Structure 1
Amino acid sequence: MKTTREIALGRVTGGYQYLSDQDDPNCRHVVKVDWQNRVPRAVVKQDLLYTLGSAISIFSPSRNNAVARLEHLLAHSEDPGALGAGSTPSTPRQQHDDVVDDPESKPNVAEVAADQITTRIGEEFSGHGFAHLVAELLRAEGFEVDEAPPGADGGIDITAGRGLLGLESPKLIVQVKTGQIGSEVVAQLNGLVSTHGADYGLLATWTGLSKPARDAVKHQRFRVKVWDSTDVIDALQRNYERLPEDIRARVPLQRVWMLRDES
């Protein structure tokens, strides 16, 4: 899903159909699919992302236990890796079967770079470290920030505001989660915004929101904002030169200019 950088997972439930009344000629050839889960790209390991980026629309993956991992993603919203969660090592025939499509032969360089940055952030800033990264990104955006120490925080990981003392609007209450966020977290944050007299609530999540949580955020769109992994990476790239040296050392980036693919 290009707009949210998520991967949709489902099962085919019906055979081929031709929709003659469909205005878009590219959408007339269909099969019925029961879409059962959406996971952020951040939870999928790089080798499986390469496979899912195949240049062919329809293909049968076999490398690195892709099928077992996709089943696990569908059920648990996490990628166990090539040798995890009941998967078995690929046989030599599976690894070299010419019938199975190879991973994409012409990868999207920008997307590959974003995936690599995502993987590095996930490795370097787990647990409370992710909250610290979000705090530094807010500081780079011009906020005065107060970070809660590790441990029980009453639902408030970060408070932020504009001005010399951080008392000017917009004033933010921030919750940071590395796991998937449920609707109860959205409700809690909304209550904290009112209780503490803040203007907005910010949910920073590395692995996305459950469907009930996404629906809850839609109903609070003028009060609660979400930063997912894509927003965090955008903020990091936008403010990279203003971030502390230790952050830049843990995520070393360089800017590269290249010709745009106009095909």
Structure 2
Amino acid sequence: MVRAGDNNELISKWRGKQVASIGWPELGDPRQYASKESLLAKADLVYREEKPGTRLAWARQVWRYFNEVSLGDRVITYSKETREYMVGTVTQTHQFRPDIIDSNYPHVISVAWEEKRIPRDSLSPGAKNSLGGILTFFRVDNWGVELQALLEEASLEGTLPEPILVQDEMDEVEEYNHEDFIEKAKSMVEDRIDKLDPWQMQDLVAGLLEAMGYQVTVSPKGPDGGVDILAHRDVFGFEQPIIKVQVKHRHVASSGPEIQQLLGANPNGASCIFVSTGGFTAAAKSSARHNGMKLIDLSALVELVQDWYDKMPIEKQALIPLKRIYVPS
């Protein structure tokens, strides 16, 4: 597993260049180090403001990316916008190339990415949990049979084993334990939201606006004129700002024309929010920026749910039942 950047922003670049890349450019080319210990010493120097365990985990991932990835290895990464896993095969091992993708992600391997993707909903609960970890780079060997079967649309028989981590991975997971837990929890909330039908999704977004202090009107089933929710501060809907909301619950990115449709819908002059669990095309993002529209994808929606869940009406909380817990910081 290789994470596609801090904010999953590298997916399209990776597909275009047929590569996968990770960061920590301050460590330079691993070939200059005679041993892993030398690289760890460098990490202690350049990342001295970080916790010792964090420095160790970062350096180990770079060393393993350089030293352990082989030709023919299978690589998987996750697209948050489409909620799908991309799978490919390594065609060239580590290169230190700040010029290929981004100077912040200079550690590059060449990957022949396959066209077919694996929907997250197709995975077993164990695979979902394991693939939802926070580490940038880690092995998922024990899920290879399941992933390959899904690519080939073959049936799975028997119970697949939990992955067995090597000692380096165990140390890294221990250091990131609370962050790893939080990221996995976010993934599980995404899974819950993804299972809602389009009308339940409208109700969820309406519940968030209610939690923020707005009065809301949700369009009934049927043609809505491009507006799913109207939100306003006062009971009668006279007080500014008036917000019109469009909600698209699907795995397809929302487009520029859909942004324009919301802008042109009544009431004219209202502020606009577009919620799309499938993300947005580049044209949609550009149009939204130009017109001051707020875009909310699935990741942003999960953040809002986490922030406002306790203030949502009980019937809206029931759409995605959650329980608050505390973890050590």
Say whether the fold is shared (TM-score over 0.5): yes
Q: Does 1:113 align with 2:185?
A: yes
Check if 1:127 corresponds to 2:205: no
What is the 5 A alignment of 1:37-116? 47-48=127-128, 50-51=130-131, 53=133, 55=135, 57=137, 59=139, 61=141, 63=143, 65-67=146-148, 86-89=153-156, 106=173, 108-116=180-188
Deviations 1:179-225 (A, max 9, x none): 23122211211222xx52233211112221233323333333x2x11
CA contact (8 A) 1:68 1:87 kept: yes
**Cα distance between partner residues in 2 of 1:43 and 1:212:** 28
Q: CA 1:206/1:156 → structure 2, altered by over 3 Å: closer, same or farther?
A: same
TM-score normalised per structure 1: 0.69
Change (3 A) 1:48 1:117: closer
Structure 1 Cα separation of the partners of residues 275 and 297 of structure 2: 6
In 1, Cα distance between equivalents of 2:268 and 2:263: 11
The equivalent of 1:257 in structure 2 is: 326
Match 1:243 to one of 312, 316, 325: 312
User: Are the counterparts in 2 of residues 60 and 101 from structure 1 also a CA contact under 8 Å?
Assistant: no
211, 214, 225: which one aligns with 1:143: 214
Amino acid at match of 1:30: V
Mapped partners of 2:273, 2:93: distance in 1: 43
User: CA-to-partner distance for each residue in 1:21-63, whole Å, 9 max, x for gaps?
Assistant: 99x99855434569999x9x98785524623638572646462
Q: Does 1:18 align with 2:96?
A: yes
Q: CA RMSD in A?
A: 4.1
Offset at residue 244 of structure 1 (A): 2.0
Classify 1:96/1:143 alpha carbon distance in 2 versus 1 (closer, same or farther; 3 Å): closer
Is 1:208 aligned with 2:279? yes
Is 1:230 matched with 2:311?
A: no
Note if 1:182 corresponds to 2:255: yes
d(CA) in 2 for partners of 1:116, 1:247: 18
Q: Hey, what's the Cα distance between the residues in 1 that align with 2:162 and 2:6?
A: 34
Over 3 Å counting, the alpha-carbon distance change for 1:122 and 1:30 in structure 2 is closer
More helix by share: 2
Normalising to structure 2: TM-score of the pair? 0.57
Structure 2 unmatched ranges of 5 or more: 20-90
Query: Following the alignment from structure 2 to structure 1, what is the Cα–Cα distance between the partners of residues 294 and 289?
Result: 10
Q: 1:188 and 1:244, CA in 2 relative to 1: closer, same or farther beyond 3 A?
A: same
Q: Which residue of 1 aligns with 2:237?
A: 166
Q: Structure 1 residues 119, 229: CA separation in 2 closer, same or farther (over 3 Å shift)?
A: same
Look up the match of 2:268. 197
CA deviation string 1:223-251 (max 9, x = no partner): x1112222322222322232222233343
8 A Cα contact 2:98 2:104, kept in partner: no
Unaligned runs of 5+ in 1: 72-84
- Relative to structure 1, the CA distance from residue 87 to residue 182 in structure 2 (aligned partners, 3 Å threshold; closer, same or farther) is farther
Residues 130, 234 of structure 1: alpha-carbon distance in 2 compared, 3 angstrom cutoff = same
* Cα contact 2:132–2:187 (8 A) shared by 1: no
Q: Number of aligned pairs?
A: 235
Secondary structure of residue in 2 paired with 1:57:
coil
Aligned-pair CA distance for 1:174: 0.8
Distance in 2 of aligned mates of 1:68 and 1:214: 36
- Quote the offset at 1:67 in angstroms: 4.6
Q: 1:185 to 1:112 in 2, by over 3 A?
A: same
Structure 1 SS opposite 2:262: helix
